[in-house]
Amino acid sequence: MGRYPWRMIGAIGLGLGIVVSTGQSWAGQSQLASITVAQADTVAQADSETKTEAEAVLERGLTLIQSGQVAAAIAAFQEAAYLDNDLAPAHYNLGLALRQQGQLQDAASAFWRAIQADPNLAIAYSNLGASLWEGGNREQAVNYLERAIEIQPDLGNAHYNLALVQIELEEYDAAVSSLQAATRLTPRAPEPHFHLGRMYMQRGDLEDAISAFEQAVSLFPQYVEAHYNLGVALYGQSQYEAALEAFREATDINPNYTNAYYSAGLAFIQLRDYEEAEGVLNHAKTLYISQNNPQWAANTQAQLDRIATLTAQ
């Protein structure tokens, strides 16, 4: 190996060329950060000094959630809601727990009951919108997310989730505005910075994209997609060595991140370090084959053939 020793541990991948990874999100099953839509705000709790039976059961459910006993917590929230149908936090937290279990329709119904009990509970509108979006109902999702923002303009995760829907609807300018609001209102959350970087990169604003991805990884150093996309943006500015460092960070965090190996190979080619390029590309090709991805293996082989041509000159 040459000047850039590369850590090669088994990988899987979906990538061809410099590919922008979409990553995860608050509204998805994110394992990138502790903040998700279902966990973004402090869980609503009953605050009366003399608690009713329903409120006591609600608090038991919250304790169960905190200890990871989701099924038991769901049962407690359901009991609390049965005891007091007007107890909005019971419905709301039931929705959170159901959504955590992937029961989107039931979660949406629980959030709906929460806003019937408390029409000003903005976070319930936000989670209802996110659940509808996850279920493929984008138009209704927009309505509830916009209502959440109308009630509570500083609710950062509502702006963020609205941006995700706007991206799917290809309303990119609106998505940028929503993401900018989310980064301002939730400055410690890495995901809005990441997706803002994606939008900047799509517009060709590579410097702004780099800044956004750097902010994301500074907030969450294990954010593998942010490291990778930082490398993509740096590559686009012909900063190949810096791009390599970002790709290396991605594979250090997740040795199965095949896009980073492939993209590193392209960066090595630009640096005319063909030995390193051949090494990482052969590694990527082997992995594509092992994962039954013949198309990606073929395209990787095309890059290896390119190296053979370059070295023969």
Judge whether 90 and 58 are in contact, CB under 8 Å: yes
Asked if the model's pLDDT at residue 1 lies above 70, the reply is no
Question: What pLDDT does residue 51 have?
Answer: 67
Distance CA(28)–CA(61), nearest Å, equals 23
Same domain (yes/no): 125, 156: yes
Average pLDDT over residues 55-81: 94
Distance CA(107)–CA(97), nearest Å, equals 8
Q: What three-state secondary structure class fits 303?
A: helix
Domain ranges, residue 135: 121-187
Query: Structure tokens of 288?
Result: 């594509």
Q: Predicted confidence band at 94 (pLDDT cuts at 50, 70, 90)?
A: very high
177-225 pLDDT tens trace: 999 999 999 999 999 999 999 999 999 999 999 999 999 999 999 999 9
Asked if the model's pLDDT at residue 27 lies above 60, the reply is no
Answer yes or no: is 181 within a domain: yes
Same domain (yes/no): 112, 129: no
Same domain (yes/no): 114, 125: no
**N- to C-terminal Cα separation, the chain:** 21
Asked if the model's pLDDT at residue 297 lies above 80, the reply is yes
Contacts of 198 (CB under 8 A, 6+ apart): 20, 22, 23, 209, 229
- The fraction of the chain above a pLDDT of 70, given in percent, is 84
End-of-domain residue from the set 102, 119, 136: 119
Average pLDDT over residues 2-29: 34
Radius of gyration, alpha carbons of the chain: 23
Same domain (yes/no): 114, 135: no
Answer yes or no: is 182 within a domain: yes
Same domain (yes/no): 109, 67: yes
Question: What pLDDT does residue 12 have?
Answer: 23
Q: Which of these ranges, 25-39, 89-103, 247-261, has the smallest mean pLDDT?
A: 25-39
Q: What three-state secondary structure class fits 21?
A: coil
Distance CA(156)–CA(181), nearest Å, equals 7
Judge whether 253 and 231 are in contact, CB under 8 Å: no
Average pLDDT over residues 14-43: 31
302-312 pLDDT tens trace: 999 999 999 98
Q: Which of these ranges, 9-23, 48-62, 157-171, 206-220, has the smallest mean pLDDT?
A: 9-23
Contacts of 309 (CB under 8 A, 6+ apart): none
- 86 residue type, one letter: D
Question: What pLDDT does residue 47 have?
Answer: 45
pTM of the model: 0.81
End-of-domain residue from the set 165, 187, 209: 187
End-of-domain residue from the set 169, 187, 205: 187
Average pLDDT over residues 136-156: 96
Q: Which of these ranges, 24-33, 47-56, 130-139, 208-217, has the smallest mean pLDDT?
A: 24-33
How many C-beta atoms surround the C-beta of residue 179 within 10 A? 28
- Better-predicted residue by pLDDT, 233 or 49: 233
* Phi and psi torsions of 213, nearest 5°: -65, -40
CATH number at residue 92: 1.25.40.10
Judge whether 98 and 74 are in contact, CB under 8 Å: yes
Number of domains in the chain: 2
Answer yes or no: is 214 within a domain: no
The DSSP string of 211-270 is HHHHHHHHH-TT-HHHHHHHHHHHHHTT-HHHHHHHHHHHHHH-TTBHHHHHHHHHHHHH
Asked if the model's pLDDT at residue 115 lies above 80, the reply is yes
Distance CA(111)–CA(91), nearest Å, equals 6
* Phi and psi torsions of 12, nearest 5°: -125, 160
